[in-house]
Amino acid sequence: MNAQPITVYPGTAFRSRSHEAVNDPLLRQSFRGAMDFLMSKRAAMFPDEAELQQLRTLGEAIRQRCLAKLPELLETLEANLTRNGVQVHWAETPEEANSIIQGLIARRGGKLAVKGKSMVSEETELNHHLAEHGIEAIESDMGEYIVQLAGEKPSHIIMPAIHKTKEQIAGLFHEHIPDTPYTTDVDELIQIGRHVLRDKYVSADAGISGVNFAVAETGTLCLVENEGNGRMCTTVPPVHIAITGIEKVVELLADVPPLYTLLTRSATGQPVTTYFNMISGPRKPGELDGPEEVHLVLLDNGRSQAYADEQLRKTLQCIRCGACMNHCPVYARVGGHAYGTVYPGPIGEIISPHLLGLEATASLPTASSLCGACGEVCPVRIPIPDLLIRLRTEAIRDPHEHPAHPLRGQGAGRDTRQLTAWRLWRFILTSPARYRVFSWLATRFRMLTPAKQLGWTQNHVPLKPAARTLSERMANRR
């Protein structure tokens, strides 16, 4: 199975890819139906508005407290994990993280790894890196397995294959899994996938997983899942390697339940997930199951850049529930792949500039209507619209300026033509006299304006002319 590298689409590519997406009626129908379903499921889980707001306030307070103590919590986490027998590795870049994981597998002569769901491993292009070194990595989450067969990347952080229809999945299984008949029965498709993956757990040399919460107090890795594949990946192979971003650490074990209930209810509309795994070390003498080794790779990859700025630090509060994506009118129409980055939707628009630099993501903060829905549903109250405006400012900031915490790629979206137009606009509208002169000239020379004015004249539906007399209005009512 070929691993596909992540492709970043810089500049104006988002516009061209989103144009393709909105002209794909099947894609729009799939996403619209899925987003409506997820929004209604979330709403049903929070019938009491007062309780929801109290939970959001608590979740925000926990995440902000933990981030305020992040450096010391990471040291505490390392010390307690080491005491529990877990080996901790630090990686500043995706390349370092991939090299560490590949080395851990290669030193045991490993050739096969099974993976639970991990967006951070997507972020580092781990599968592609392992394939280049002769190690096959098989996704065991059903959605991830489907997009891996298709040679694609996830289009949603919680439901990777949300853009696929059952007919498309049936075709993939029929084409890539030997002796598999074509069927669109969903239950049968699930059983086919499980049957293929079950043998992989036993023969795998290593299991790889993500981490939802890393508890500094106890040295515990918490993993949330519904399919059981995460538990298989972390217990059956002889080596378990977990990878996560440095922001996932929480201070206390008591911090986990409030965040857990916010995560599951906001993500999939479930009161709890089917499985909640707490991993505190490798197999101990006398125990019958569990890995011989447990490793944790802590990845920075631009997170320290966000952490350094007090406002942008709020980006790291994210618990990866995907609620902002489910409620975003832009994401619902263009899907995840149009963004061209690992994290799509509103959360991707504010975190990708730190991971990839503004030179590759300058257009993403503008992929929003600023309607505020993302901020209203975020379970930990990340002020996403405010952060989008801040990143738009940084994208056009003069690259020669030296702010207190410069962002990588600062000024990448700077366009002198746009800046000149806005300066002219400000010059005219800040003076009543200049505005009157401009209005007088505009009315007399409007015949020089283009016949078609981009989206306005192409998409605007004119209002019906108003009835001028009482009799006309009464006739319209009849």
Tens of pLDDT, residues 6-55: 444 444 578 888 888 888 888 888 888 899 999 999 999 999 999 999 99
Adjacency order of strands within the sheet including 293-299: 87-91, 293-299, 239-245, 206-209, 112-115, 136-139
Cα–Cα separations (whole angstroms), residue 322 to 37, 54, 385: 14, 20, 16
pLDDT of 476? 56
Record the pTM. Answer: 0.88
Which of 256, 295, 344 shows the shortest CA–CA distance to 21?
Answer: 344
Digit-coded pLDDT (tens) for 439-452 = 999 888 888 777 66
Adjacency order of strands within the sheet including 213-215: 249-250, 213-215, 220-225, 275-279
Residue 117 and residue 144 in contact, taking contact as beta carbons nearer than 8 Å: yes
Dihedral angle, C-alpha 275, 280, 282, 284, nearest 10 °: -110
93 φ, ψ (degrees, to nearest 5): -125, 165
> Tokens 């027998």 appear where?
85
pLDDT of 451? 67
Which of 409, 340, 388, 351 shows the shortest CA–CA distance to 12?
Answer: 340
Q: State which residues of the chain have pLDDT below 70.
A: 1-12, 451-478
Which of 284, 302, 309 shows the shortest CA–CA distance to 294?
Answer: 284
Q: Which amino acid is at 257?
A: P
Most distant CA atoms of the chain, gap in Å: 93
Residue 198 and residue 105 in contact, taking contact as beta carbons nearer than 8 Å: no
Dihedral angle, C-alpha 131, 134, 138, 143, nearest 10 °: 10
DSSP 401-439: ---SSPPTTTTTT--HHHHHHHHHHHHHHT-HHHHHHHH
Spell out the residues 6+ positions from residue 407 whose beta carbon is closer than 8 angstroms to its own: 305, 353, 354, 357, 358, 391, 394
pLDDT of 445? 86
Which of 235, 204, 237 shows the shortest CA–CA distance to 137?
Answer: 204
Distance CA 468, CA 353 (A): 54
Distance CA 146, CA 151 (A): 9
